[in-house]
Structure 1
Amino acid sequence: MNRLLYESSVSYKGYLIIPFVFGKVDDYEIYSYKLLAEVGHKSRFHASENPATMYDNSIISILDIAKEHIDVNIDFVSQGDFFKSRYIYRHNLIIVYQKNARCYYDHYAPESLTNIAAPKLFSSPYECLNWVQKGLDGRNKS
């Protein structure tokens, strides 16, 4: 699989829709998508790949396909925009969230929706992002 296009991701009704290039046909890229759910594994679509089983040759169209699928099959009610504080660094997705005056984060590599975040608490979003960036920078120097 090609890398996940986190920079083109869209937050929608408690899901993060993440497009990626599924393949090529006659020099045209064919897009698919994966989903993250703010409620994690409580949603049957968390970390799923293209539950609508439809593909398209534009990112905008694949995002629309995903939104329509979510509208028809939504399995929870969102409590806000969990994915609003998301950052892309070196093609990695970092989602920062606060709870009870503490910061937490989820970290996803460019090729996988497996959370690789370390179990660490932070006092601010800045401290969290700085720590993750230093870790990624250090890993890339090796």
Structure 2
Amino acid sequence: MSRLTKAQREQVRQMFGGRCAYCGEPLPDRWHADHREAVVRALLTKQSEDGRYKLVSGPSLYPERDVLENFMPSCPPCNISKHSMSLEVWRKWLAGHVNSLNAYHPIYRLAKKYGLIQETCAQVTFYFERVAQVVESAV
């Protein structure tokens, strides 16, 4: 599956009521259809007519993941942040930013000192996981 049809794209968009599967924010007009499990496309170099080389997207390393069931609606910041990480690696990467902010950003520490920011130590739970928990508890 190289591209989603308009109907498939709409089906993906409506999976979570027009919200990003990861953060839960309403999807913007230019939202992304993300592969939940990355297909990881190989990067190839190609020489253009002027002799310069450029990177181009090559074949998928996991073509079996390029199926409609593996797509999630995503806002651009979440999809770009996730890149080709698995959900568990991305979850750890996101959670690790709090330590980085505390270690390297004095403005963050100052804002925390004045009560403008409160760290919760909450686990990173994606919107699609929260929705699934609500559905399970209702059953």
Higher relative contact order structure (alpha carbons within 8 Å, sequence separation ≥ 6): 2
TM-score band w.r.t. shorter chain? under 0.3
> Relative to total residues, which structure has the larger helix share, 1 or 2?
2
> Relative to total residues, which structure has the larger strand share, 1 or 2?
1
Q: Which has the larger radius of gyration?
A: 2
